[in-house]
Amino acid sequence: MSKHQPALEKMERDFYQHQYVADQSLTMALHLVLKLEKPLLVEGPAGVGKTEIAKTLARILDTRLIRLQCYEGIDSQASSLRDPHLQSDTRIE
């Protein structure tokens, strides 16, 4: 058993308690994101649960989620207009 196993199991339980079944690869990725304080880029087609991962993690951590919509052809001005907090709090380059 690795020294990170208890934290991984807790993360898995936390997600499950929020009605999200997270597999081992996702819980490991999220554990590393939190441990290393680094971002995680989640890509995939519409409807696979990318936003739900972020929403669930925000609920688990009891923190605000700022969702930045990124896709080809969108500029920072258009993207920041979707969230009032981004208009004043964040500089996007």
12-71 pLDDT, tens digit per residue, is 999 999 998 888 899 999 999 999 999 888 888 989 999 999 999 999 999 988 777 666
Spell out the domain ranges in the chain.
1-62, 66-93
HEC readout, 35-49: HHCCCCCCCCCCCCC
- Predicted TM-score (pTM) of the model is 0.71
**Cα–Cα distance, 82 to 84 (Å, whole number):** 7
